[in-house]
């Protein structure tokens, strides 16, 4: 602002001379009787106002939490200069609002403005700084937008990184330098079932065709689960994982046939804290009422986590991420059927047939999964083995797992008893009976293993040769 002034001294007079006629009045002055003044006043925005601007302290705390949740901090990351935030999604999205960071600038920044101490501010204007200072911002170099820190609307941040510039202005120019910062978003790691199938192992089983053989000599498969949660909820670079909230697994058994319907599933396990889970269990072949040739098993596990909490009320952090993984396998009885068995196991199995207690090589303890035509069930308590054998069966651990099955305590004494039983079966009456049954053997084979948990029926010990 400039002001120019000048002044010259002059005097009014009437000139008299000859002839004596009067003339008009004039005003003249000497050349040395004048002075002038030129004054310019230049004022900038910084001369009349000051401002402060910074990332708000609670936002810095939340950003630090996000940085600490990453596998490694990005180079140059600084919570005092930029904003770091996690969204409850595994990918960025332009359209899904749940994957956006909706927040007001006034929630991210702490700003103040005041008159400059050296500026002669009238008392009547001392509390009206907002009438003289206004704010503006732009995003990623776009158009400038007016910003009122006391009344603003949320902005939607959608990309991995967004640049924001904020300035304070007066009518005389900008107050201070422009303030710039980046809003950095981090997605959650993608849940995956890629390693789920390899977590399940059938011990002591060989695969024949599309099925696994039952544990040798038994009517169940010995299954072991070795689960590592980090395989399902990985933690790659530049992602957060959130908080693991647990896994729940269900198992369903049914007879493998085109007409068999799914049975009601049963909860196999539920765990909310363990990063690794090791569990062994027996999967008995379906009996409805006969033991099925093949039993189909389906195990599904649902893994859940809560998204990383940003600890400030800037977005909805209540959504839960989850994934359900499936593993299917088939169990078949691969033991060769026998026309007649005088072995200790065969003799004992014949004695225990029809007994509700588990017989030779049948599961008697640990986690045992069973199924009939309608429902899958699980037993976790030890059962008393059949007491009709001599000596009594004992419930022993199978293959160093938690699963148990009934076995004879020693072979030699029982072999002696079996020999006597075998001689009895070799009597003339027995031979006559076997001769009379020769034609029956053409169409059916006696199977040594018997399901003892149900009443004996005529067909219980037979598998049909033709289907």
Torsion of CA 57, 100, 92, 77, to 10 degrees: -10
Length of the chain: 467
What pLDDT score does 292 carry?
Answer: 76
pTM of the model: 0.71
> To 10 degrees, what angle do helices 412-425 and 344-352 make?
70
CA 87 centroid distance within chain: 13
pLDDT band at 358 (very low <50, low <70, confident <90, very high): very high
Give pLDDT tens digits for 309-318: 886 544 444 4
User: Which residues of 307-352 form beta strands (DSSP E)?
Assistant: 321-332
List beta partners, residue 147: 135
Between residues 207 and 103, the one the model is more confident about: 103
CB 291 within 8 A of CB 333: yes
Q: Measure the CA–CA gap between 287 and 291, rounded to whole angstroms.
A: 4
Question: Counting beta carbons within 10 angstroms of the beta carbon of residue 400, is it exposed (0 to 12), middle (13 to 18) or buried (19 or more)?
Answer: exposed
The second-level CATH assignment, the architecture, of 49-186 is Sandwich (2.60)
Between residues 47 and 417, the one the model is more confident about: 47
- What ranges in 219-359 are assigned the alpha helix state H? 229-232, 344-352
CB 199 within 8 A of CB 268: no
Question: Token pair of 237, please?
Answer: 């670079």
Domain boundaries, the chain: 2-45, 49-186, 197-332, 344-464
What's the CATH number of domain 197-332, 2.60.40, 1.10.3470, 3.30.450, 2.30.29?
2.60.40
Same fold, 49-186 and 197-332: yes
Give pLDDT tens digits for 423-453: 333 333 433 333 444 333 333 333 434 454 4
**141 C-beta neighbours (distance < 10 Å), count:** 7
Q: Return the H-helix or E-strand segment holding 222.
A: strand 220-228
Report whether pLDDT(122) > 90: no
> CA angle, 172 as apex, 169 and 178 as ends, to 5°?
30
Between residues 26 and 107, the one the model is more confident about: 107
Report whether pLDDT(373) > 60: yes
Mean pLDDT lowest among 140-144, 371-375, 460-464? 460-464
Q: Return the H-helix or E-strand segment holding 417.
A: helix 412-425
Q: Residue 433 contacts by C-beta under 8 Å, 6 or more apart in sequence?
A: none
Mean pLDDT lowest among 99-113, 132-146, 387-401? 387-401
Give pLDDT tens digits for 242-274: 889 999 999 999 888 656 677 789 999 999 999
Give pLDDT tens digits for 56-78: 999 999 999 999 999 999 999 99
């Amino acid at each position: 602002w400039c002001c120019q002034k000048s002044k010259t001294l002059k005097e009014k007079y009437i000139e008299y001379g000859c002839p004596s006629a009067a003339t008009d009045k004039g005003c003249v002055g000497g050349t040395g009787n004048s002075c002038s003044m030129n004054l310019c006043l230049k004022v900038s925005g910084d001369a009349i106002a000051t401002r402060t601007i910074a990332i708000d302290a609670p936002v810095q705390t939340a950003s630090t939490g996000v940085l600490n949740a990453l596998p490694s901090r990005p180079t140059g990351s600084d919570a005092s200069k930029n904003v770091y935030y996690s969204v409850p999604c595994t990918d960025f999205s332009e359209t899904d609002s749940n994957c956006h960071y909706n927040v007001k600038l006034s929630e991210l920044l702490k700003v103040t403005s005041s008159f400059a101490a050296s500026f002669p501010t009238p008392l009547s204007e001392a509390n009206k700084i907002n009438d003289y200072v206004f704010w503006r911002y732009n995003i990623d170099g776009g158009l400038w937008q007016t910003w009122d820190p006391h009344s603003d609307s949320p902005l939607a941040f959608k990309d991995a990184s967004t640049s924001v510039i904020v300035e304070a202005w007066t009518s005389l120019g900008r107050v201070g330098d422009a303030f710039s910062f980046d809003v950095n978003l981090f997605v959650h790691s993608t849940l995956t079932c890629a390693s789920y199938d390899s977590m399940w192992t059938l011990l002591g089983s060989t695969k024949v065709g599309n099925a696994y053989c039952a544990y040798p000599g038994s009517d169940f498969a010995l299954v072991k689960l070795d689960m590592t949660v980090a395989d399902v909820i990985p933690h790659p670079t530049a992602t957060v994982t959130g908080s693991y909230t647990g896994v729940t697994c269900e198992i369903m058994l049914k007879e493998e046939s085109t007409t068999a319907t799914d049975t009601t599933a049963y909860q196999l396990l539920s765990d909310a804290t363990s990063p690794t889970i090791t569990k062994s269990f027996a999967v008995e072949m379906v009996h409805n009422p006969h033991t099925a040739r093949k039993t189909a098993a389906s195990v599904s596990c649902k893994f859940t986590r809560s998204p990383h909490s940003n600890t400030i009320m800037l977005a909805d952090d209540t959504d839960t991420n989850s994934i359900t993984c499936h593993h299917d396998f088939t169990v078949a009885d691969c033991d060769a059927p026998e026309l007649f068995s005088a072995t200790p196991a065969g003799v004992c199995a014949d004695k225990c047939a029809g007994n509700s207690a588990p017989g030779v090589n049948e599961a008697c303890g640990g986690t045992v999964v069973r199924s009939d035509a309608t429902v899958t069930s699980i037993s976790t308590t030890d059962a008393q083995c059949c007491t009709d054998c001599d000596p009594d069966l004992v419930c022993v651990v199978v293959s160093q797992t938690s699963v148990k099955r009934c076995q004879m305590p020693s072979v030699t004494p029982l072999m002696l008893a079996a020999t006597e039983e075998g001689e009895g079966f070799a009597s003339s009456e027995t031979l006559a009976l076997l001769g009379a049954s020769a034609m029956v053997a053409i169409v059916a084979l006696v199977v040594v293993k018997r399901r003892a948990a149900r009443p004996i029926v005529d067909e219980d010990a037979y598998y049909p040769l033709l289907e």
